[in-house]
Structure 1
Amino acid sequence: MKKIKTSPLLPQEFVVENISENEANIIAYPFEVGYAVSLAHPLRRFLLSSSQGYAPVAIKVEGAKHEFDSIRGMLEDISEFIINLKSIRFKLKNDETDAEVTYTFTGPKEIKGSDLSNEQVEIVTPDAFLATLNEDATLTFTLKIYQGIGFVPSEDIRDELDDGFIPLDAYFTPVRKATYEIDNVLVEDNPNFEKVIMNIVTDGQIGPVDAFKNALEVMYAQMAVFNSEISVAAPTTVERVDETPEIKKLMGRIEDLGLSARSFNCLDRSAVKFIGEIVMMSEADLKNVKNLGKKSYEEIVDKVAEYGFAVGADLSDEVVSAVKKKIEAE
């Protein structure tokens, strides 16, 4: 018979694995069966669709009337130039939400993303190639750069532009990849709890952890619509306790002590699961465990001593509080 519950287990562990500056794994566990995917999937959608980023929405090239034109002395035509421009990722400085920036280059020169950085704009893909100019070439162009979310096609921008500007498809999202895996994790000998591992890769406009935080904020904001008509109790924040080596040992299970079956069963039937619970007992409390005889008592005291502790040990208030919180969370 399954254990009867009145509420699902709350996940206690949250880990960030920084793989690189623009990639990280976000790990949380343990979840009840089915809960991990229920949270991970919408978070992935919000990461890809609601993360704020920057993109050029229009370009005006001196001497070019449309995207199929060409410029004297530039190897690429305008359409190829625009394709290359899409691989360059911009970030406006000083928290600006839009900017109009003009560049002028003379040949011979191979223009890269790093050449577009100035006091208004930071380029997060400095090695991206843009264009090649011959000796007699001069290239002047103006970009309209905006902050936004998701993808906006050029057709939606065309009517809002000044004469001479060519609309561009705007890829705002700074999240290049957001995937997740669901693994099983053991909780109290039950292997059916779940761990979610979310891998996030960004283009450098924003860090993966900040992108995850923004996705959470958007998710909470979307759900706030229900608060207007339905009174919902505010969720309790799960306090995570930093585990010192001492706390980790105290949170070891009584199985780790290698007790005889009789001693183990006495503790197990009294709902004693962790070594820390024995250490925090007084000698009198341990002796009063139901059906625990003298030999079993002495065995437990000896095994706890071998583990590095003593029954009734004088632990610091911080350690006692931390162990109690973790035991309550189990």
Structure 2
Amino acid sequence: MKTIKTAPYIPTDINIEEINTNRIKISVYPFESGYAITLAHPIRRLLLSSSVGYAPIGLKIEGVAHEFDSVRGITEDVSPFIVNLKNIRFVHKTQEDNGPITVNYSFKGPMSLSGADLINDVLDVVNKNTYLATINEDAVLNFSIIVQKGIGYVPSENIRGIIPEDYIPLDAYFTPVKKAVYEIENVLVEDNPTYEKIVFDIETDGQINPHDAFKEAIAIMHSQMSIFDADMSAAPLMAKNSSEDVAELKDLMVKIDTLNLSARCFNCLDRTGIRYIGELVLMSENDLKNIKNMGKKSYDEIAEKLQELGYPVGYELSDELVLSLNKKIVKMKS
């Protein structure tokens, strides 16, 4: 018996097949006809453009003035050395620092330099066997690199202004996802063969697990679309509250990521589950100081940021705004 639908079919099955350590296939189904491509394409785009990785962005070699120079006692000129260096895939061992990491190296020949030789207390290397250079007998190679966390691709001309002048800027390819493709297949649901299945094939370079990369892409999609939910949720308030309160609510529902807090301070708030600026504004001085692992330096940093935003610690919001803000925070976290 045929019926008229009042809502699209919700997918019920997801299967994950691990091909190897850095490659998986994810099958999701069943979708209504046309829904699979609607979701699959943006997820693929986010996997390739928004996955976070580490890459060298600057290089300084002792005795070298520019990228077309050569180094005494080294088989490779600077240009091929740079090409080899950009192939190295780094991983930050603590994953807590978003800022640039500067590392100094010194090697004496004879030796064949590879990715494994760049491992230290801060950085690990995924592709340890990747060749870098050959250092001849009695030759010494002293160099420094700057490694940065980022997304996508950043050309060297955009990096030149953010590293010291004595460093050679490098094109930075941060994306750890090597491959993200999908196929759409038909599946049978209640004698209807027009339903669809998405089969994602995801491979990374080892900086991140492909399953984690997929989950991060989904999370980014949710965060990008949350603006619509925030805007729609604020609309009914205009009948009760002033337009100033509505604008202020939107300002307070901005995530704490935008405050550019230090890693220690951000992690302290993140572990407590604090996500939005409004949550900090609602707290008293004692509330902030009593957050677990909140030291004086972190408290002072938060207080300074809130002061800059016009919400010094202890700032009193209107009763209507406090009620709306609390409701909004609960909704966004549910």
Q: TM-score with structure 1 length normalisation?
A: 0.69
Amino acid at match of 1:165: Y
2:134, 2:143 → 1: CA distance? 14
2:153, 2:159 → 1: CA distance? 12
Please show how residues 103-252 of structure 1 align to structure 2 within 5 Å.
Answer: 103-231=105-233
Uncovered stretches (5+) of structure 2, i.e. residues with no partner: 235-334
Q: CA deviation at 1:227?
A: 1.4
Tell me the percent identity: 54
Query: Residue in 1 aligned with 2:17?
Result: 17
Amino acid at match of 1:205: Q
Runs of 4+ in structure 1 deviating by more than 2 angstroms, as ranges, are none
Deviations 1:50-107 (A, max 9, x none): 0010001100011100000000010100000000111110011112223100111111
Q: Higher mean Cα deviation, 149-158 or 89-98?
A: 89-98
1:84, 1:103 → 2: CA distance? 16
SS at match of 1:49: helix
Q: CA deviation at 1:190?
A: 1.1
SS at match of 1:226: helix
2:66, 2:17 → 1: CA distance? 47
- How many residue pairs end up in the alignment? 232
Higher helix content, 1 or 2: 2
1:155, 1:51 → 2: CA distance? 22
Q: CA deviation at 1:2?
A: 5.8
Query: Residue in 1 aligned with 2:65?
Result: 65
1:11, 1:77 → 2: CA distance? 55
SS at match of 1:103: strand
Deviations 1:137-169 (A, max 9, x none): 110110100101111111011122213100000
Query: Residue in 2 aligned with 1:29?
Result: 29
SS at match of 1:104: strand
Q: Higher mean Cα deviation, 172-181 or 152-161?
A: 152-161
Query: Residue in 2 aligned with 1:77?
Result: 77
Amino acid at match of 1:113: G
1:72, 1:171 → 2: CA distance? 29
Q: CA deviation at 1:4?
A: 1.6
Please show how residues 309-324 of structure 1 align to structure 2 within 5 Å.
Answer: none
Uncovered stretches (5+) of structure 1, i.e. residues with no partner: 233-330
SS at match of 2:157: helix
Query: Residue in 1 aligned with 2:284?
Result: none
Query: Residue in 2 aligned with 1:246?
Result: none
